[in-house]
Structure 1
Amino acid sequence: MEERLQKFMARCGVASRRHCEQLIADGQVKVNGRVVTEPGTRIRPGKDVVVVNGRLLRQPKKKVYYMLYKPRGYLSAVADPAGRKLVTDLLPDVKQRIYPVGRLDYDSEGLLLLTNDGALTRALTHPSSKVSKTYRVRVQGIPSWRSLEQLAQGIELADGLTAPATVGLIDVLNGNALLEITIHEGRNRQVRRMCEAIGHPVLRLKRIRFGPLNLGKMKAGEFRELKNHEIRALLAAARLL
Protein backbone atom coordinates (compact mmCIF):
# COMPACT_ATOMS: atom_id res chain seq x y z
CA MET A 1 0.00 0.00 0.00
CA GLU A 2 1.32 3.42 -0.93
CA GLU A 3 1.80 6.22 1.57
CA ARG A 4 2.73 9.89 1.38
CA LEU A 5 6.45 10.39 1.93
CA GLN A 6 6.14 12.91 4.77
CA LYS A 7 3.69 10.66 6.63
CA PHE A 8 6.11 7.72 6.37
CA MET A 9 8.97 9.92 7.60
CA ALA A 10 6.91 11.08 10.57
CA ARG A 11 5.99 7.46 11.41
CA CYS A 12 9.70 6.64 11.42
CA GLY A 13 10.25 9.34 14.04
CA VAL A 14 12.14 11.81 11.84
CA ALA A 15 10.04 14.84 12.84
CA SER A 16 6.51 16.22 12.65
CA ARG A 17 4.82 15.99 9.25
CA ARG A 18 5.22 19.72 8.72
CA HIS A 19 8.95 19.55 9.42
CA CYS A 20 9.23 16.48 7.19
CA GLU A 21 7.62 18.44 4.37
CA GLN A 22 10.27 21.12 4.81
CA LEU A 23 13.07 18.52 4.74
CA ILE A 24 11.66 17.19 1.46
CA ALA A 25 11.36 20.68 -0.03
CA ASP A 26 14.97 21.42 1.02
CA GLY A 27 16.23 18.43 -0.97
CA GLN A 28 17.38 16.42 2.04
CA VAL A 29 15.42 13.28 1.16
CA LYS A 30 16.21 10.58 -1.38
CA VAL A 31 13.88 7.85 -2.61
CA ASN A 32 15.58 4.95 -4.38
CA GLY A 33 18.73 7.06 -4.76
CA ARG A 34 16.94 10.04 -6.30
CA VAL A 35 16.44 13.38 -4.53
CA VAL A 36 12.74 14.10 -4.07
CA THR A 37 11.61 17.68 -3.42
CA GLU A 38 7.86 17.38 -3.84
CA PRO A 39 5.91 16.87 -0.58
CA GLY A 40 3.07 14.45 -1.16
CA THR A 41 5.19 12.06 -3.21
CA ARG A 42 3.80 8.56 -2.66
CA ILE A 43 6.07 5.66 -1.76
CA ARG A 44 5.71 1.94 -1.01
CA PRO A 45 6.90 1.37 2.58
CA GLY A 46 9.07 -1.72 2.82
CA LYS A 47 9.88 -1.64 -0.90
CA ASP A 48 11.11 1.86 -1.69
CA VAL A 49 14.40 2.96 -0.09
CA VAL A 50 14.11 6.28 1.74
CA VAL A 51 17.20 8.10 3.01
CA VAL A 52 17.08 11.35 5.04
CA ASN A 53 20.38 13.19 5.44
CA GLY A 54 22.24 9.92 4.93
CA ARG A 55 20.06 7.99 7.37
CA LEU A 56 18.21 4.97 6.00
CA LEU A 57 14.63 4.82 7.23
CA ARG A 58 13.23 1.44 8.14
CA GLN A 59 9.61 0.41 8.33
CA PRO A 60 8.71 1.20 11.94
CA LYS A 61 7.50 -1.49 14.26
CA LYS A 62 3.94 -1.44 15.53
CA LYS A 63 3.46 1.52 17.83
CA VAL A 64 1.90 0.89 21.22
CA TYR A 65 0.63 3.29 23.84
CA TYR A 66 0.02 2.47 27.50
CA MET A 67 -1.25 4.47 30.44
CA LEU A 68 0.07 3.39 33.83
CA TYR A 69 -0.85 4.42 37.36
CA LYS A 70 2.72 4.65 38.63
CA PRO A 71 2.95 3.79 42.33
CA ARG A 72 5.38 5.52 44.65
CA GLY A 73 8.73 3.76 44.93
CA TYR A 74 9.24 3.11 41.21
CA LEU A 75 11.73 4.82 38.90
CA SER A 76 10.50 6.36 35.64
CA ALA A 77 13.23 4.69 33.59
CA VAL A 78 14.06 1.44 31.81
CA ALA A 79 17.31 0.77 33.70
CA ASP A 80 18.90 1.72 37.02
CA PRO A 81 22.46 0.92 38.17
CA ALA A 82 21.25 1.06 41.80
CA GLY A 83 18.78 -1.75 41.14
CA ARG A 84 15.65 0.17 42.12
CA LYS A 85 12.23 -0.94 40.88
CA LEU A 86 11.33 0.36 37.42
CA VAL A 87 7.98 1.33 35.93
CA THR A 88 8.57 -1.17 33.14
CA ASP A 89 8.57 -3.94 35.76
CA LEU A 90 4.83 -3.31 36.07
CA LEU A 91 4.21 -4.22 32.41
CA PRO A 92 5.98 -7.61 32.16
CA ASP A 93 3.79 -8.98 29.35
CA VAL A 94 4.35 -6.08 26.95
CA LYS A 95 6.59 -7.45 24.20
CA GLN A 96 7.62 -4.14 22.65
CA ARG A 97 10.41 -2.07 24.19
CA ILE A 98 8.59 0.93 25.59
CA TYR A 99 9.78 4.07 27.32
CA PRO A 100 8.16 6.49 29.78
CA VAL A 101 7.17 9.86 28.36
CA GLY A 102 8.65 12.39 30.74
CA ARG A 103 9.13 11.52 34.38
CA LEU A 104 7.38 11.16 37.67
CA ASP A 105 9.68 11.36 40.68
CA TYR A 106 10.54 8.15 42.53
CA ASP A 107 8.32 9.24 45.44
CA SER A 108 5.52 10.56 43.21
CA GLU A 109 2.60 8.62 41.77
CA GLY A 110 -0.08 8.84 39.13
CA LEU A 111 -0.55 8.95 35.38
CA LEU A 112 2.46 7.96 33.30
CA LEU A 113 2.44 7.38 29.55
CA LEU A 114 4.69 4.68 28.06
CA THR A 115 5.18 4.13 24.33
CA ASN A 116 7.62 3.20 21.58
CA ASP A 117 6.50 6.20 19.49
CA GLY A 118 9.65 8.31 19.44
CA ALA A 119 8.14 11.21 17.53
CA LEU A 120 5.30 11.55 20.02
CA THR A 121 7.67 11.31 22.98
CA ARG A 122 9.89 14.06 21.60
CA ALA A 123 6.91 16.27 20.78
CA LEU A 124 5.24 15.88 24.18
CA THR A 125 8.43 16.48 26.17
CA HIS A 126 9.73 19.42 24.11
CA PRO A 127 9.47 22.73 26.02
CA SER A 128 7.45 24.26 23.17
CA SER A 129 4.67 21.66 23.43
CA LYS A 130 2.99 23.30 26.46
CA VAL A 131 0.89 20.19 27.06
CA SER A 132 -0.89 20.61 30.40
CA LYS A 133 -0.25 18.32 33.37
CA THR A 134 -2.46 18.35 36.47
CA TYR A 135 -1.39 17.21 39.93
CA ARG A 136 -3.13 16.63 43.26
CA VAL A 137 -0.62 17.78 45.86
CA ARG A 138 -0.81 17.37 49.63
CA VAL A 139 1.42 20.03 51.19
CA GLN A 140 2.55 20.70 54.72
CA GLY A 141 0.45 23.42 56.28
CA ILE A 142 -2.14 25.64 54.65
CA PRO A 143 -0.88 28.20 52.10
CA SER A 144 -2.33 31.70 52.25
CA TRP A 145 -4.31 33.04 49.32
CA ARG A 146 -1.36 35.28 48.56
CA SER A 147 0.92 32.23 48.32
CA LEU A 148 -1.54 30.47 46.00
CA GLU A 149 -1.62 33.57 43.81
CA GLN A 150 2.17 33.49 43.65
CA LEU A 151 2.07 29.88 42.47
CA ALA A 152 -0.50 30.81 39.82
CA GLN A 153 1.33 33.89 38.58
CA GLY A 154 4.84 32.40 38.56
CA ILE A 155 7.49 31.50 41.11
CA GLU A 156 11.16 32.40 40.81
CA LEU A 157 13.19 29.17 40.94
CA ALA A 158 16.90 28.53 40.48
CA ASP A 159 16.31 27.91 36.76
CA GLY A 160 14.09 30.95 36.23
CA LEU A 161 10.52 32.15 36.62
CA THR A 162 7.84 29.50 36.17
CA ALA A 163 5.07 30.05 33.65
CA PRO A 164 1.58 30.88 34.92
CA ALA A 165 -0.23 27.90 36.44
CA THR A 166 -3.76 27.05 37.50
CA VAL A 167 -3.94 26.50 41.26
CA GLY A 168 -6.85 25.56 43.50
CA LEU A 169 -7.30 24.66 47.17
CA ILE A 170 -9.29 21.40 47.20
CA ASP A 171 -9.35 20.28 50.83
CA VAL A 172 -7.74 20.58 54.25
CA LEU A 173 -7.01 17.50 56.36
CA ASN A 174 -5.22 17.47 59.73
CA GLY A 175 -3.88 20.93 59.11
CA ASN A 176 -2.42 20.12 55.68
CA ALA A 177 -3.84 21.42 52.39
CA LEU A 178 -4.67 19.47 49.26
CA LEU A 179 -3.95 21.52 46.15
CA GLU A 180 -4.69 20.94 42.48
CA ILE A 181 -1.99 22.42 40.27
CA THR A 182 -1.93 22.48 36.46
CA ILE A 183 1.32 23.43 34.72
CA HIS A 184 2.43 23.57 31.09
CA GLU A 185 6.16 23.08 31.65
CA GLY A 186 8.28 20.02 32.38
CA ARG A 187 11.13 21.16 34.59
CA ASN A 188 12.77 18.70 36.97
CA ARG A 189 10.74 18.31 40.18
CA GLN A 190 8.94 21.52 39.26
CA VAL A 191 5.79 21.20 41.37
CA ARG A 192 7.78 20.14 44.42
CA ARG A 193 10.14 23.09 44.03
CA MET A 194 7.25 25.52 43.50
CA CYS A 195 5.62 24.42 46.75
CA GLU A 196 8.91 24.54 48.65
CA ALA A 197 9.42 28.10 47.37
CA ILE A 198 6.26 29.27 49.17
CA GLY A 199 7.23 27.43 52.36
CA HIS A 200 4.89 24.44 52.06
CA PRO A 201 6.85 21.26 51.20
CA VAL A 202 5.07 18.45 49.36
CA LEU A 203 3.94 15.49 51.45
CA ARG A 204 2.36 13.54 48.60
CA LEU A 205 2.07 14.19 44.86
CA LYS A 206 -0.13 12.47 42.29
CA ARG A 207 -0.50 13.33 38.59
CA ILE A 208 -4.13 12.93 37.58
CA ARG A 209 -4.11 14.34 34.04
CA PHE A 210 -1.63 14.54 31.17
CA GLY A 211 -2.93 16.48 28.19
CA PRO A 212 -6.18 14.78 27.11
CA LEU A 213 -5.58 11.71 29.30
CA ASN A 214 -7.29 11.34 32.68
CA LEU A 215 -6.25 8.86 35.38
CA GLY A 216 -9.89 8.22 36.25
CA LYS A 217 -10.50 5.32 38.64
CA MET A 218 -7.29 3.42 37.94
CA LYS A 219 -5.48 2.03 40.98
CA ALA A 220 -1.76 2.07 41.74
CA GLY A 221 0.09 -0.44 39.56
CA GLU A 222 -2.72 -0.80 37.00
CA PHE A 223 -2.12 -0.14 33.31
CA ARG A 224 -4.05 -0.31 30.06
CA GLU A 225 -3.61 0.35 26.36
CA LEU A 226 -4.88 3.67 25.11
CA LYS A 227 -8.00 3.72 23.00
CA ASN A 228 -7.85 4.97 19.42
CA HIS A 229 -9.58 8.26 20.24
CA GLU A 230 -7.09 8.83 23.10
CA ILE A 231 -4.15 8.24 20.77
CA ARG A 232 -5.57 10.68 18.23
CA ALA A 233 -6.11 13.26 20.98
CA LEU A 234 -2.50 12.86 22.14
CA LEU A 235 -1.17 13.22 18.61
CA ALA A 236 -3.28 16.35 18.18
CA ALA A 237 -2.01 17.78 21.49
CA ALA A 238 1.55 17.14 20.28
CA ARG A 239 0.72 18.80 16.92
CA LEU A 240 1.47 15.64 15.00
CA LEU A 241 -1.89 15.55 13.20
Structure 2
Amino acid sequence: MTPGPDLQQLIDTIRADAGTDDILDQLGTAASTISELTSTSDAALGYFVDRARGAGKSWVEISTVLGVSKQAAHKRFAESWTSRPAFEHYTPRTRAVVEAATDVARGLNHSYVGTEHLLLAFYTQPEALATKVLVAHGVTEQAVSEAVNAAVPAGEGPVNEEELGFTRRASHVLQGAAGEALALGHNYVGTEHLLLAFYRDQAGVATTVLQGLGLDESAAWAAIRAVLNELEKAK
Protein backbone atom coordinates (compact mmCIF):
# COMPACT_ATOMS: atom_id res chain seq x y z
CA MET A 1 0.00 0.00 0.00
CA THR A 2 1.29 3.45 -0.91
CA PRO A 3 1.97 5.34 2.34
CA GLY A 4 0.41 8.75 2.88
CA PRO A 5 2.34 11.77 4.16
CA ASP A 6 3.66 11.41 7.71
CA LEU A 7 2.93 13.98 10.40
CA GLN A 8 6.08 16.02 9.81
CA GLN A 9 5.46 16.18 6.07
CA LEU A 10 1.92 17.38 6.72
CA ILE A 11 3.12 20.04 9.16
CA ASP A 12 5.74 21.26 6.68
CA THR A 13 3.14 21.43 3.91
CA ILE A 14 0.74 23.44 6.06
CA ARG A 15 3.48 25.88 7.06
CA ALA A 16 4.48 26.34 3.43
CA ASP A 17 0.87 26.86 2.34
CA ALA A 18 0.30 29.41 5.10
CA GLY A 19 3.20 31.46 3.76
CA THR A 20 3.69 33.23 7.08
CA ASP A 21 5.10 32.64 10.55
CA ASP A 22 1.94 33.95 12.18
CA ILE A 23 0.68 31.08 14.34
CA LEU A 24 -3.00 31.94 13.82
CA ASP A 25 -2.58 32.01 10.04
CA GLN A 26 -0.92 28.61 10.25
CA LEU A 27 -3.76 27.33 12.44
CA GLY A 28 -6.32 28.55 9.92
CA THR A 29 -4.45 26.88 7.08
CA ALA A 30 -4.21 23.68 9.12
CA ALA A 31 -7.96 23.70 9.77
CA SER A 32 -8.87 24.15 6.09
CA THR A 33 -6.28 21.58 4.97
CA ILE A 34 -7.48 18.92 7.41
CA SER A 35 -11.10 19.64 6.49
CA GLU A 36 -10.30 19.15 2.80
CA LEU A 37 -8.36 15.95 3.51
CA THR A 38 -11.23 14.60 5.59
CA SER A 39 -13.77 15.43 2.90
CA THR A 40 -11.63 13.80 0.21
CA SER A 41 -11.02 10.71 2.36
CA ASP A 42 -14.73 10.34 3.06
CA ALA A 43 -15.52 10.75 -0.63
CA ALA A 44 -12.92 8.13 -1.57
CA LEU A 45 -14.27 5.64 0.96
CA GLY A 46 -17.82 6.40 -0.11
CA TYR A 47 -16.85 5.77 -3.73
CA PHE A 48 -15.72 2.22 -2.97
CA VAL A 49 -18.66 1.53 -0.66
CA ASP A 50 -20.93 2.69 -3.47
CA ARG A 51 -19.17 0.34 -5.89
CA ALA A 52 -19.53 -2.53 -3.44
CA ARG A 53 -23.26 -1.85 -3.09
CA GLY A 54 -23.59 -1.64 -6.86
CA ALA A 55 -21.92 -5.06 -7.10
CA GLY A 56 -24.58 -6.50 -4.81
CA LYS A 57 -22.55 -6.67 -1.60
CA SER A 58 -24.63 -6.51 1.58
CA TRP A 59 -24.23 -4.03 4.41
CA VAL A 60 -23.11 -6.94 6.59
CA GLU A 61 -20.23 -7.72 4.20
CA ILE A 62 -19.28 -4.05 3.87
CA SER A 63 -19.42 -3.38 7.61
CA THR A 64 -17.22 -6.42 8.26
CA VAL A 65 -14.52 -5.09 5.93
CA LEU A 66 -14.76 -1.61 7.48
CA GLY A 67 -14.61 -3.02 11.00
CA VAL A 68 -17.81 -1.33 12.16
CA SER A 69 -21.35 -2.46 12.88
CA LYS A 70 -23.89 -2.86 10.10
CA GLN A 71 -25.91 -0.01 11.62
CA ALA A 72 -22.90 2.32 11.71
CA ALA A 73 -21.96 1.59 8.09
CA HIS A 74 -25.52 2.08 6.89
CA LYS A 75 -25.94 5.33 8.82
CA ARG A 76 -22.69 6.76 7.47
CA PHE A 77 -23.01 5.79 3.82
CA ALA A 78 -26.73 5.40 3.13
CA GLU A 79 -27.83 8.81 4.38
CA SER A 80 -29.70 11.30 2.21
CA TRP A 81 -27.60 12.80 -0.61
CA THR A 82 -28.55 16.33 0.44
CA SER A 83 -26.66 15.96 3.72
CA ARG A 84 -23.47 14.69 2.13
CA PRO A 85 -20.51 17.10 1.87
CA ALA A 86 -20.17 16.29 -1.85
CA PHE A 87 -23.29 18.34 -2.66
CA GLU A 88 -21.28 21.43 -1.77
CA HIS A 89 -19.08 20.66 -4.77
CA TYR A 90 -21.94 20.51 -7.29
CA THR A 91 -21.52 23.12 -10.01
CA PRO A 92 -24.32 25.67 -10.49
CA ARG A 93 -25.50 23.86 -13.62
CA THR A 94 -25.57 20.51 -11.84
CA ARG A 95 -27.59 21.99 -9.01
CA ALA A 96 -29.94 23.57 -11.54
CA VAL A 97 -30.47 20.16 -13.16
CA VAL A 98 -31.23 18.55 -9.79
CA GLU A 99 -33.70 21.30 -8.91
CA ALA A 100 -35.34 21.14 -12.35
CA ALA A 101 -35.91 17.40 -11.96
CA THR A 102 -38.63 18.13 -9.42
CA ASP A 103 -40.39 20.41 -11.90
CA VAL A 104 -40.13 17.70 -14.56
CA ALA A 105 -41.71 15.16 -12.21
CA ARG A 106 -44.45 17.61 -11.31
CA GLY A 107 -45.13 18.29 -14.98
CA LEU A 108 -45.64 14.56 -15.57
CA ASN A 109 -47.90 14.28 -12.51
CA HIS A 110 -45.48 11.85 -10.88
CA SER A 111 -45.40 11.74 -7.10
CA TYR A 112 -41.66 11.00 -6.99
CA VAL A 113 -38.44 12.22 -8.59
CA GLY A 114 -36.68 9.41 -10.41
CA THR A 115 -33.68 8.97 -12.67
CA GLU A 116 -35.88 9.64 -15.69
CA HIS A 117 -36.71 13.10 -14.35
CA LEU A 118 -33.03 13.84 -13.75
CA LEU A 119 -32.28 12.80 -17.32
CA LEU A 120 -34.99 15.03 -18.77
CA ALA A 121 -33.81 17.89 -16.55
CA PHE A 122 -30.48 17.98 -18.41
CA TYR A 123 -32.25 19.70 -21.29
CA THR A 124 -33.06 22.70 -19.09
CA GLN A 125 -29.32 23.40 -19.25
CA PRO A 126 -28.44 23.28 -22.99
CA GLU A 127 -24.89 24.53 -22.39
CA ALA A 128 -24.09 21.81 -19.85
CA LEU A 129 -21.40 19.35 -20.91
CA ALA A 130 -23.67 16.34 -20.41
CA THR A 131 -26.46 17.88 -22.46
CA LYS A 132 -24.09 18.63 -25.33
CA VAL A 133 -22.85 15.04 -25.27
CA LEU A 134 -26.41 13.71 -25.32
CA VAL A 135 -27.48 15.90 -28.24
CA ALA A 136 -24.28 15.17 -30.18
CA HIS A 137 -25.11 11.45 -29.97
CA GLY A 138 -28.68 11.92 -31.14
CA VAL A 139 -30.16 11.61 -27.67
CA THR A 140 -32.45 14.59 -28.08
CA GLU A 141 -34.99 15.92 -25.61
CA GLN A 142 -37.85 14.72 -27.81
CA ALA A 143 -36.39 11.22 -28.10
CA VAL A 144 -35.84 10.97 -24.35
CA SER A 145 -39.28 12.39 -23.58
CA GLU A 146 -40.97 9.85 -25.85
CA ALA A 147 -38.96 6.98 -24.37
CA VAL A 148 -39.70 8.07 -20.80
CA ASN A 149 -43.41 8.46 -21.52
CA ALA A 150 -43.46 4.98 -23.02
CA ALA A 151 -41.72 3.51 -19.97
CA VAL A 152 -43.49 5.58 -17.32
CA PRO A 153 -46.73 7.20 -18.54
CA ALA A 154 -47.78 10.52 -17.06
CA GLY A 155 -49.90 10.31 -13.94
CA GLU A 156 -53.43 11.54 -13.48
CA GLY A 157 -54.42 14.53 -11.41
CA PRO A 158 -52.30 16.99 -9.42
CA VAL A 159 -49.34 15.84 -7.35
CA ASN A 160 -49.19 16.17 -3.58
CA GLU A 161 -46.15 18.42 -3.09
CA GLU A 162 -45.37 16.75 0.23
CA GLU A 163 -44.95 13.40 -1.50
CA LEU A 164 -42.36 14.61 -4.01
CA GLY A 165 -39.01 13.15 -3.12
CA PHE A 166 -36.09 11.39 -4.77
CA THR A 167 -36.39 7.66 -5.25
CA ARG A 168 -33.75 5.28 -3.96
CA ARG A 169 -32.34 4.94 -7.48
CA ALA A 170 -32.23 8.71 -8.02
CA SER A 171 -30.51 9.19 -4.66
CA HIS A 172 -28.01 6.51 -5.64
CA VAL A 173 -27.22 8.45 -8.83
CA LEU A 174 -26.83 11.73 -6.95
CA GLN A 175 -24.45 10.10 -4.50
CA GLY A 176 -22.62 8.26 -7.26
CA ALA A 177 -21.92 11.46 -9.20
CA ALA A 178 -19.38 12.44 -6.54
CA GLY A 179 -17.68 9.09 -6.99
CA GLU A 180 -17.47 9.60 -10.75
CA ALA A 181 -15.90 13.02 -10.16
CA LEU A 182 -13.37 11.44 -7.82
CA ALA A 183 -12.55 8.75 -10.38
CA LEU A 184 -11.75 11.45 -12.94
CA GLY A 185 -9.66 13.41 -10.46
CA HIS A 186 -12.05 16.36 -10.36
CA ASN A 187 -12.76 18.51 -7.30
CA TYR A 188 -16.25 19.43 -8.51
CA VAL A 189 -19.37 17.50 -9.50
CA GLY A 190 -20.51 18.45 -12.99
CA THR A 191 -23.37 17.31 -15.18
CA GLU A 192 -20.97 14.91 -16.89
CA HIS A 193 -20.45 13.08 -13.60
CA LEU A 194 -24.20 12.91 -13.07
CA LEU A 195 -24.63 11.41 -16.53
CA LEU A 196 -21.98 8.76 -15.88
CA ALA A 197 -23.58 7.92 -12.53
CA PHE A 198 -26.75 6.76 -14.29
CA TYR A 199 -24.90 3.66 -15.47
CA ARG A 200 -24.27 2.51 -11.91
CA ASP A 201 -27.81 1.17 -11.90
CA GLN A 202 -28.51 -0.83 -15.03
CA ALA A 203 -32.16 -1.25 -14.06
CA GLY A 204 -32.90 2.47 -13.73
CA VAL A 205 -35.28 4.09 -16.20
CA ALA A 206 -32.66 6.66 -17.27
CA THR A 207 -30.07 3.97 -18.02
CA THR A 208 -32.61 1.90 -19.93
CA VAL A 209 -33.61 4.94 -21.99
CA LEU A 210 -30.01 5.94 -22.72
CA GLN A 211 -29.01 2.45 -23.81
CA GLY A 212 -32.17 2.13 -25.87
CA LEU A 213 -31.21 5.32 -27.71
CA GLY A 214 -27.72 4.00 -28.42
CA LEU A 215 -25.65 5.65 -25.70
CA ASP A 216 -24.18 2.91 -23.52
CA GLU A 217 -21.69 3.43 -20.69
CA SER A 218 -18.54 2.99 -22.78
CA ALA A 219 -19.78 5.45 -25.40
CA ALA A 220 -20.69 7.99 -22.73
CA TRP A 221 -17.28 7.65 -21.08
CA ALA A 222 -15.48 8.05 -24.40
CA ALA A 223 -17.53 11.10 -25.38
CA ILE A 224 -17.06 12.84 -22.04
CA ARG A 225 -13.33 12.13 -21.95
CA ALA A 226 -12.98 13.53 -25.48
CA VAL A 227 -14.74 16.76 -24.52
CA LEU A 228 -12.72 17.11 -21.31
CA ASN A 229 -9.48 16.56 -23.23
CA GLU A 230 -10.43 19.28 -25.71
CA LEU A 231 -11.25 21.67 -22.88
CA GLU A 232 -7.90 20.91 -21.27
CA LYS A 233 -6.03 21.60 -24.52
CA ALA A 234 -7.85 24.91 -24.90
CA LYS A 235 -6.56 26.18 -21.55
| TM-score bin, normalised by smaller chain | under 0.3
Task: Report the TM-score when normalising by structure 1.
Answer: 0.27
- The structure with the greater share of residues assigned to helix is 2
Comparing both structures, which one devotes a greater share of its residues to strand? 1
